[in-house]
Structure 1
Amino acid sequence: MAFHINGRRLASEIEQHLAAVIQRHQNRAGRPPGLAVLRIGDDPASGVYVSNKEKACERIGISRHGAHISKDITLEEMLHVIHSMNEDPLIDAILLQLPLPPSLDPGILLEAISPEKDADGLHTLNLGRLLKGEPGPRSCTPSGIMVLLANNKIPLEGQHAVVIGRSTLVGKPMALMLQSANATVTMAHSHTIDLSSITRRADILVVAAGSPQLIGARHVKPNAVVIDVGIHRVPIDEITENGSKSYLCGDVNSNELEEIASALTPVPGGVGPMTVAMLLTNTVMNWGNRCTLDNPLEDLVSF
């Protein structure tokens, strides 16, 4: 039976650590850390994600400076919003919640965020810092996965890791972080031929494909560690006993892997909570840098 890697519990422990750090340094800094989450439009999933992030901020003492912006905002108006937040001394981190309305170019808006206030490590400068192994904000989902692996003492050095998905948000930074930990990394994607022949060689399989239950028993070798990044709400034909018309699943068919994998991240409760935890971590790190505090999270962020 596969061991279930509990991201929710670890995220809670990280939140407690961050809350203690904020309380310890707040008098010296003169203010709490500040996070601005920018949600544009009315995408339902984005609404849930932003609400979860705001609640997490409240739990640990980060002040919120976000905004829910109309989908009709122009690019020029949105750039003005970001520039004003870049100049706001109470804001340490800015997160642009994706996806955006079709009228807005995410690349232009992400580049407009000050690299020192980048909450998700997506600015070109911070991606370059990751590539060169220099300090800087890291993309929240892959960094959360790295902390999960380290906390569960899953060895990476010399292991063959396969990453499915090549997005700038997850796949590419994930591969770089695994390489930095001395894993041998293969990347697969939607144009990969004979996917199972590649994934079955993986000691560690990270699935960020964006496709419900893409990965099953035929894709995974015995005793592999499987990290499921996806989360999907899938409709069902009949309403369940609790009245639900859908269920949540990931990119992995976890039922098929219970007797094959050595460890799995569940959906929900695996990678998702860690993504939020690392957003909070990036905010506190930026706060420490901007308020010239000693690195308060050196024991947590080491990749």
Structure 2
Amino acid sequence: MADILHPDLPHFVAFGEALTDLIRIGPDRWRSACGGSPWNVAVAMSALGRLSAFGGAISQDLFGAEIWQCSQDANLDMRFIQQLPRPPLLAIVHELDPPRYFFIGQDSADLHFRPEGLPAGWMRSLRWAHFGSLGLVREPLAGRLLALAQTLKSEGRLISYDPNFRALAMDSRYDDTLAQMCRLADVIKVSDEDLRGLFRVSDHRLGLAQIAAWNPGAWLLLTRGAAGATLYHGVEECSGLPPQIDVIDTVGAGDSALAGLLDSLMRNAGAPAEEHLRWALAAGAAACTAPGFAPPRHGLVAALAEDIEVTKN
């Protein structure tokens, strides 16, 4: 029997980890929040109006239950989340300024995600797949996701990649994965801090040049926080500053900026680079307007985009 292609299968799937941030807010007080960079990107894409899914595994305990509920609330396609009888992945954020954290996740549920368990026909509906962060570091998940990215690329699907540098996890052993994913990706998002860490250099431009050499045809989004962002595509280069807003919280701003770029490319890939960057900056800013991770809503992004000036370099 032929695979059934459901008309509501997502056009975008972010693969990797969803986790729980345990954030210290006082000497003996903590709060929890759902997170994980790939999960954030999936939620942001859904908030922007895309049929979106997070492809990953979560635990069956109270932490996994909260991620499941938040994913439902975000209108993600729940067929792509696998709940398993394994421990949760936790990020212990014990200082906020500057952020200091570590991860707890030995044999945790995320590592046991199986792409073969996804809905029949999902690849045929897919337009973009996103990869990055801890999912491409921690085995055996990392090997499965790298193989999946290679398969999707060979099938003509578009790939986005955000390494999301983590100092304790991405040392020289990550170099091969970094090179392979940069060569595969159609969109690469990095911050200046990511580049200094990934390439172990003091000048982020050295890392930027290496990525451009690996994949000169990719869209390359360089974010610099309040200093704005630059978008590169072939010989095109444009830069802009975020709009003037009251910043409440920057959690998920980079993930939302990437989602903004992908949303713009899905809507009109042939639009000028300046238009794509404007939408990315507006989406990143929208995520800063509320406490915690605030997914960027289309209306707010559109309003913020009107106040952003982008210049060709």
TM over 0.5: no
From the CA coordinates, give the structure whose radius of gyration is larger.
Answer: 1
TM range (shorter): 0.3 to 0.5
Higher relative contact order (CA 8 A, sep 6+): 1
More strand by proportion, 1 or 2? 2
